[in-house]
Structure 1
Amino acid sequence: MLTPEDDTYWREYHVTPRYLAGSLGTGDDPSLRPFVDLDWPRHHLDDDLGRTVFVSPDGRLRIGFFGDDYLLWNIAAYEDPFGPRRWAATFNQNTPPEIVAAFTTALARDYEEGNNRFLARPPVRWGEQTQPLTEAGWTRDWGAEIGTVEIIAPDKQAGVLLDIRCQDPEDEQCLPWSGPPGWGTRAEATFTTRTPGHLIAATAMADPAPLVRYERSIPRGLRDLVQLTPVEPPPPAKPTPLDVRRTAVAQAVERAFRSSPTNPRAVAARARTTSPLAASDARPTALADRQVPSAASSRSSGRRL
């Protein structure tokens, strides 16, 4: 069993496909960052459980994060802050926060642009909503229930179910999912009938870019379904010609000092290459002449080297 004292405990991996990466397993959640950056009013419902609600300045967007619930994120939009919801979206606790962050980032951008695009009508044709998926190789499952359309990922471990029979604004029409069934493995989201299609597409379920995780943070039920590639540290910076020259000079001076530690020039040169204060002295050689050690001390120094 790995412990925090083991190097492999802290090893990071690129995880593909991203929709099976699971939770981050840390408190550094990017999904709420857009609203923190915009300094939207923030309400703590229960500090012990981490429940938080962000509200846009005009009250037309509300983003809830419920740290004690199956549905961690609950997002709603309103044409009138005192009227009924225009649309709502939820994401459960197994959804990678980066996928939620893609949605919330697009939502915050729509709001800031001031064109009410976050209230846009959804596409009339269901194919427009699923186009990014089909272009990435996802295909339709012709065995889906009549009145529904399901688009499945190539590995059969993710999909989007569309219920084209839905008419009521509160109906959950679009249901993305990923992972095997189970409380700890199945990621699920819901979007009601009037959720703008471009916001659903922003979740980028089919994005091939990997996500970074510690291996231990990936649920056991998903580890055999993902590809893990160690995150390699960046290569060291390539030394400049000046760096190479300085290193060579320092090595030459050190060799000269070791061969003749009582030589004033060697002592002075070593002081210039190892001490910033000595390097700035205007008369290093004269200073070294005054500090030449006695024969006895030099022999003693030679034994310590």
Structure 2
Amino acid sequence: MSDQPEDERWREYRVTPRYLAGMGFSGDPAFTPVSHWPRHDPDDDNLCQLLHTSPDGRIRIGWFGDDYDPVKVTAAEDAVGPVRWTALFNQNFPPEITAGFTSALARDWEPDAEHFLARPSIYWDDNVAPLLDAGWERLETSEPGTVELRAPDGQAGAWIDTRSYGREDETVVLWAGPEGYLTRAEATFSSDTPSHLIAATATALNDPTPIVRERHMIHRDVEHLVRLEPVTARAQPRTGAPTPLDAKHAAVTAALHRAAHSEPGARRAQAARIRTTHPRPRPSAAPASSARVDASAARTATRPRR
């Protein structure tokens, strides 16, 4: 990608499949469904750079911009109680897909209601019913006690742990892209995450609607796996003093360059957090219309129990 003309690097494209589009510049779309909730801006020294909470404080959606999992969502029975469940969306997971989760969460919340704390289904396929309905294949080579699904193109999948586990254990992972810190997108859900919220994320993951990205945002190890459709005419060469947007582009490009020439990042359970001197821009959480994401209807076939 480095040998592309400069104006081509900044050109916008519609990326298909959407789950290979990457993070983009910020997590704005993930926070749009809850932009009307109370917003908190922690001090610069705080790991959490932006926090939205439900009006009663039971749901927390944080932005950790330069962290391995920049979006972290937790829910509890009360504002000061222990966390019931956690959802993590890593630095390559498209925020437009994360919005499927936060949209369902925003619809769930009501004063004194606990739909967002519903017990997970005893049937593993309720978590990923939209993927099964779309023809994702169940692999026969899964480790005992687990279920694995694979997208028709082989570039995305789901992993489900059906064994006994503790409240903080990871039990569902939705992923896309080649393995690697710069290419693998992951959404991870702890054991008590309600099945309908995971299914809403799966619906957004499989949505055929493209996601818009600038050309340089598509990693070289992913570009041959996606279809790119130009959004606008070729941009004109920039002249004059750099604009704030130019500076933003330069900062992101420098961060990507450093990451590409460093040791590959380890997976979350094996490595320390990875940071850069140019933190990822925090979401503005400006109100915008978000796509409606509905979980699939209950499956009629007999389903295996955990």
Q: TM-score when scaled to structure 1?
A: 0.70
Give, in whole Å, the separation in 1 of the partners of 2:187 and 2:138: 19
Counterpart residue number, 1:299: none
Q: Matches of 1:60 and 1:27 in 2, distance apart?
A: 25
2:150 is aligned to 152
Secondary structure of 2:180's partner? coil
One-letter amino acid of the structure 1 residue matched with residue 220 of structure 2:
R
| Counterpart residue identity of residue 179, structure 1 | G
Q: Which residue of 2 aligns with 1:206?
A: 206
Structure 2 counterpart of 1:151, which letter? L
Give the partner amino acid of 2:60. Answer: R
Match of 2:125 among 120, 124, 127: 127
Number of residue pairs aligned between Structure 1 and Structure 2: 229
Of the structure 1 ranges 178-187 and 10-19, higher mean CA displacement relative to structure 2 is found in 10-19
Which one has the largest radius of gyration?
1
Distance (whole Å) between structure 2 residues aligned to residue 114 and residue 33 of structure 1: 23
The change in CA–CA distance for 1:10 and 1:55 in structure 2 (over 3 A counts) is same
Residue 71 of structure 2 contacts residue 90 of structure 2 at CA under 8 Å; is this kept in 1? yes
Asked if structure 2 preserves the Cα contact closer than 8 Å seen for 1:121 and 1:194, the reply is yes
Deviation of residue 114 (structure 1)? 6.0
Quick one: distance in 1 between partners of 2:4 and 2:11?
11
Which amino acid letter does the alignment assign opposite residue 172 of structure 2?
C
Instruction: Give the % identical residues.
Output: 51
Higher normalized contact order (CA 8 Å, seq sep 6+, divided by chain length)? 2
**Partner of residue 34, structure 1:** 33
Q: 1:158 to 1:51 in 2, by over 3 A?
A: same
Map of 2:174 onto structure 1: 176
**Alignment partner, residue 260 of structure 1:** none
Query: Which of 41, 44, 47 is the aligned partner of 1:43?
Result: 41
| Residues 101 and 197 in structure 2, CA contact (< 8 A), matched pair in contact too | yes
Task: Measure the CA separation in 2 of the matches of 1:163 and 1:225.
Answer: 28
Instruction: Give 1:11's aligned residue.
Output: 11
Q: Which runs of 4+ in 1 moved over 3 A?
A: 1-4, 47-50, 112-115
1:74 counterpart SS class: strand
Letter in 2 for 1:225: L
SS at match of 2:222: helix
The answer to whether the 8 Å contact 1:41/1:56 transfers is: no
1:50 CA drift (Å): 7.2
User: Matched residues in 1 for 2:39 and 2:207: separation?
Assistant: 32
Query: Could you tell me whether the CA contact under 8 Å between 1:166 and 1:173 is conserved in 2?
Result: no
- Aligned equivalent of 2:93, options 76, 92, 95: 95
2:57 maps to 1:59: yes
Displacement of 1:81: 2.1
Name the residue aligned to 1:258.
Answer: none
Task: Determine helix, strand or coil for the equivalent of 1:205.
Answer: helix
Find the aligned partners of 1:41 and 1:59 in 2 and give their Cα distance.
11
In structure 1, stretches of 5+ residues that fail to align are 234-305
Distance 2:68 2:147 in 1: 25
Conserved? CA contact 2:148–2:158, under 8 Å: yes
Matches within 5 A, 1:286-301: none
Output the CA distance in 1 between the equivalents of 2:168 and 2:181. Answer: 25
> 1:122, 1:216 → 2: CA distance?
40
The aligned amino acid for 2:211 is: L
Q: Which residue of 1 aligns with 2:273?
A: none
One-letter amino acid of the counterpart of residue 184, structure 1: L
